[in-house]
A and B are shown apart, each in its own frame.
Chain A
Amino acid sequence: MADLAVIGAGPAGLAAALAAAAQGVTVAVVDSATEAGGQFYRQPASGLRARRPQALHHQWRTWERLRDALPGSGVRILTDHHVWSVERDSDGFTVHALLGPEQHEPVAVHADAVLLATGGYERVLPFPGWTLPGVVTAGGAQAMLKAGLVVPGRKAVVAGTGPLLLPVATGLAAAGVEIAALVEAADPKDLVRHGRALAGKLPEGAGYAARLLRHRVRLLSRHTVVRAHGDERLTGVTVAALDTDGRVRPGTERYVPCDTLAVGHGMLPHTDLAETLGCRLDGMTVAVDDEQRTDVPGVWAAGESTGIGGAGLALAEGHIAGRSIAARLNGTEPDPVQWAAAAKSRTKLRKSAAALDAAYPPPAHWSEQVTDDTVVCRCEEVTAGAVRDAVDELGAGDVRTVKLLTRAGMGWCQGRMCGPAVAGLAGCELTPSRRPFARPVPLGVLARQHHIATEEGTS
């Protein structure tokens, strides 16, 4: 039992936990990883005994401040907790999790209030060959490097679009991977155009640029990967230049040999728990007010789940949420003056997040490169041709109907990977899917909970 259950031990969750605990709130933070930190501050496995984890990280000082504040704060960190649902009951909330890594044994955390700080995951748009071993998400390559101190190969192309590509390329290069090219779809002019809002981010970018130079990384901006080659695994990619409309310029294709392609096209928020709780979503993100409250009483949200914005924004939102929760749980009206600095930084960082989003759009005509035989839904192996047939021949006009008619999105990942691709191919907006189980749950766990509930009911 806790006053507050925080779901996610990344920057948002930890900032909220610390802020709330400082006001006397009993906080439990649940997280699926083996160590707190989230994706941004993903820690090397403790067994690897890394003495210089900061070599893989940025803004390490911020992490040290969070980490060092935790032991004295009274915040309980429950790692290896894979949350599959948050249930609203008569006296608060029950956070249902499976104990990792096996995820077979259930565990429940009860709390009066919940903060959803579930973070995000990477969006990858498909292209022929993207299912080959050796093709990984940019964030995945980074996560494996940060946590496992491993790299996927010797020679990599880093491609896609978005601010994640630079740190991934420099991180892999520092870890000994030859970066054959950094292929960025965005136009550097757009970055300059959005420069004012990005003022805080540009020095960061300049630092990466210097590192790219040092590692002799070839930067191909306004380029895209049109195909990954290989039979049983990746042997190279074809890259091509994009015109101002975001179309591949014919005749610009060239082959780049590599054994690794780290690719990503921005991020998407995890909103499953919020959706099932009945929280209002705003597009793909959880809608929150100035205090980071959702429209479901007792449920707050912060960080990437309320809009992709990076670790700094997550910290600010988490802090505000923590202060708001502490006040509300005490039955008092919170005073925003308490978090004025965080609110100011939130305003500024939301602005730069919006500017980054605008500066790094996926190539407008990416779907033209997706051949009919390209697998779009990786789990159920549904091809682009099948999706197009469902739209053109069977009258599907939305992601759900395409799913019903093709199985795209019905597999293990429940459409998290293929959702954006299916929406793009079907020519419709990506809307949040309903996923009542945020992760797969053994039927035996559900059955046992039924027996416990019914026995309690009859006694």
Chain B
Amino acid sequence: MVGAACALYAARAGLDVILVDRGPVAGGTTGAGEGNILVSDKEPGPELDLALLSGRLWGELAQEFGAAVEYEAKGGVVVASSPGGLAALERFADGQRAAGVVAEPVAGDALYDLEPHLAPGLPGAVHYPQDCQVMPALAAAHLARASGARLFTGRTVTDVLRTQDGAVRGVRTDKGDIHTPALVNAAGTWGGELAALAGVRLPVLPRRGFVLVTEPLPRLVRHKVYAADYVADVASDSAALQTSPVVEGTAAGPILIGSSRERVGFDRTFSLPVVRALAASATRLFPFLSDVHAMRAYLGFRPYMPDHLPAIGPDPRVPGLYHACGHEGAGIGLATGTGHLIAQALTAKTPDLDLTPLRPDRFAEEAA
């Protein structure tokens, strides 16, 4: 998704773009995502700024692509499970509001107007109308096509070609060399490997997640609904399994149920304990789901970086190398802002956001 967005914005900035992927379109984490475009789960700071920019850009793209990418401005509802949790959630929302997020407190009764099928007795929630959703694979495919970029799928980059003074001059692939003065690393969870080919360290690590998919249903869940502890889980550094319920309906009918986080490398083994935990937390939030069938489950690997911020912008260590990866579970939502900022960097424009906190070499400094 990030690569497709970079291609789109770079092409619209007047550049000639080639999009290379070792797999098919949306074959990595994009194809395993839920398509979140969220502000609700982000605390004030550079990621929230990027999310707000990205949300605006998604809104613009929705005018252009709309139904083809199943864009839905459905809003998010973050539910507290205890009065104490609600107070903490509302304090969190206060901070977000100051940063430009629309966050509306929802008292217990009004909550059931928003989501009639939630479990009874919940103290309250915060409603985030800016939260949206797209179908990620469709979004990536349509953005890639609209970019007009030449699309080379099934082609693996095996080396980064550099000039004598170390600048990028192209990439070597298993199907021949491609010459270019600018290389954008949008390899997501595998971005560290691509960076290594260019001789630099970029600590992108996989954080596994499962999604459960139900049978098709009428619109019984209207928003993206999740429990307030999701925010804490996203920000956590634990390697152990964490699950917090995230439940949402889709335009196509099925309900998607997340979310789990584990640092287990690239292990693709199906885990019944994880999907059982997902089912348990989702049915607690929406009891009607107990009688609903899970039809499938899939897993993906979020590109996780130690400080939970993506790497976006030029890499001062290798002239011509730009990074656009490490968005963890927010890559779909943050793709548009990332693509826009990368295009600005590629065309030597002043970026709309300060890229300092996202600079790709920040970890090298820490290590030194």
Contacts and interface: CB of A to CB of B under 8 A. Distances in A.
Question: Is there a direct interface between A and B, measured as CB atoms under 8 Å apart in the complex?
Answer: yes
Contacts of A254: none
Given A404-B31, A446-B279, A87 B272 contact: yes
Interface string A431-457: 000111100111110110111010000
A257 interface: no
Given A404-B26, A453-B273, A395 B144 contact: yes
Nearest to A413: B295
Contact of A401 (B26, B213, B280, B296): B26
Given A397-B154, A404-B31, A449-B276, A444 B296 contact: no
Measured as residues with beta carbon below 8 angstroms from the partner, the interface class of chain A is 35 or more
Interface string B131-156: 00000011001101100000101100
B116 to A, nearest CB: 19
Given A404-B137, A446-B279, A450-B276, A437 B214 contact: no
B295 A447 contact: no
Contacts of B282: 443, 447
Contacts of B269: 278
Contact of A276 (B215, B270, B289): B270
B289 A443 contact: yes
Given A276-B270, A450-B277, A395 B151 contact: yes
B interface bracket (residues with beta carbon within 8 Å of A): 35 or more
Contacts of B298: 434
Interface in B262-283: 269-270, 272-273, 275-280, 282-283
A400 interface: yes
A402 to B, nearest CB: 9
Contact of A405 (B138, B216, B291): B138
A441 B293 contact: yes
B141 A447 contact: no
A26 interface: no
Interface in B88-116: none
B151 to A, nearest CB: 5
Given A440-B294, A442-B293, A443-B294, A451 B142 contact: no
B212 interface: yes
A382 B254 CA distance: 16
B234 to A, nearest CB: 21
A244 to B, nearest CB: 34
A443 B24 contact: no
Candidate in B138, B257, B295, B297 with the most chain A CB atoms within 10 angstroms? B295
A436 B25 contact: no
B137 A401 contact: yes
Nearest to A275: B270
Interface in A380-398: 380, 390, 393-398
B195 to A, nearest CB: 26
B276 A397 contact: no
Given A395-B151, A397-B154, A453-B276, A446 B294 contact: yes
Contacts of A400: 24, 27, 31
B330 to A, nearest CB: 19
A435 B275 CA distance: 13
Interface string B204-221: 000000001111100000
B59 to A, nearest CB: 23
Contact of B292 (A87, A398, A412, A443): A443
B18 to A, nearest CB: 13
Contacts of A155: none
Nearest to A444: B290
Given A278-B269, A436-B297, A446-B294, A395 B141 contact: yes
Nearest to B255: A443
Contacts of A440: 215, 293-295
B197 to A, nearest CB: 24
Contact of B295 (A396, A397, A405, A414): A414
Given A407-B252, A442-B292, A394 B141 contact: yes
Contact of B283 (A278, A401, A411, A447): A447
A183 to B, nearest CB: 34
Question: Which residue of A104, A435, A446 has the most chain B CB atoms within 10 A of its CB atom?
Answer: A446
Contact of B141 (A398, A405, A435): A405
Contacts of A444: 279, 283, 289-291
A305 interface: no
A438 to B, nearest CB: 11
A393 B144 CA distance: 11
A453 B277 CA distance: 10
Interface string A145-187: 0000000000000000000000000000000000000000000
A85 interface: yes
Nearest to A276: B270
Contact of A437 (B138, B144, B291, B297): B297
Contact of B279 (A407, A436, A447): A447
A140 to B, nearest CB: 22
A82 to B, nearest CB: 12
A231 to B, nearest CB: 25
Q: Which of A278, A401, A434, A453 has the most CB of B within 10 A?
A: A401
Nearest to A380: B252
Interface in B285-319: 289-298
Contact of B137 (A398, A405, A434, A441): A405
Given A407-B252, A436-B270, A396 B276 contact: no
B292 A450 contact: no
A435 B294 CA distance: 11
Given A405-B25, A411-B295, A443-B214, 8 more contacts: A85-B272, A396-B25, A397-B153, A401-B27, A404-B137, A412-B295, A440-B294, A443-B289
14 contacts: A380-B252, A395-B145, A404-B137, A436-B296, A440-B215, A442-B290, A443-B291, A443-B293, A446-B276, A446-B279, A447-B282, A447-B284, A449-B276, A450-B279
